[in-house]
Amino acid sequence: MNTNTDKQFDQNHSKLIEHPWMNMYFVRCTTWKWYNNSQIEILSGKENIPVVLDEWQTLVFHEANTNQSCAELILFLAARYSQKEEIPADLDQIILRSVEFLVEDVQAVRMTSSKMDIPEEYEFPQE
């Protein structure tokens, strides 16, 4: 990764380090199925309303397995960019917005202070 991009990301990341969820884990709490090759559909809330997630939300949902905190996920994703690709300057904000959407708006993910197993019924897509 180039130094300018790293510095840009580090500056943005440090501004959000105080986010209450940054060091928390997140886990799926709803069923899901594939909508297309890059997006999934979940059942939202008590009403089980179908919602198609965008690609960032889909990525975060798949990572909702309590193996990493929000901060660890952001750093993991930033590390996946090659030297030729710029890390989005707002990557941390994109990820946190996706987590907030999944937790607050559609209740597809919940936050936890410790690692835990994904409930079996939420681990794999439904047919």
Model confidence pLDDT, tens digit, residues 70-93: 988 988 888 887 666 788 878 888
The pLDDT value recorded for residue 36 is 93
Q: Which residue has the higher pLDDT, 89 or 51?
A: 51
Residue 127, in any domain of the structure? no
109 strand-pairing partners: 28
Compute, in degrees rounded to 10, the torsion defined by CA atoms 34, 36, 39, 42: -40
Percentage, residues of the chain above pLDDT 70: 83
Residue 124, in any domain of the structure? no
Looking at residues 40-53, what average pLDDT do you find?
88
Residue 10 has pLDDT above 70, yes or no: no
The pLDDT value recorded for residue 125 is 93
Domain that holds residue 78: 3-113
Comparing C-alpha atoms, which of 52, 63, 54 is closest to residue 27? 63
Residue 120, in any domain of the structure? no
Residue 90, in any domain of the structure? yes
Residue 108, in any domain of the structure? yes
CATH label of the domain that carries residue 81: 3.90.930.60
Count the domains in the chain: 1
pLDDT level of residue 26 (50, 70, 90 thresholds): very high
Residue 121, in any domain of the structure? no
**Could you give the CA distance from residue 13 to residue 101 in angstroms, rounded to a whole number?**
19
Q: Model pTM?
A: 0.83
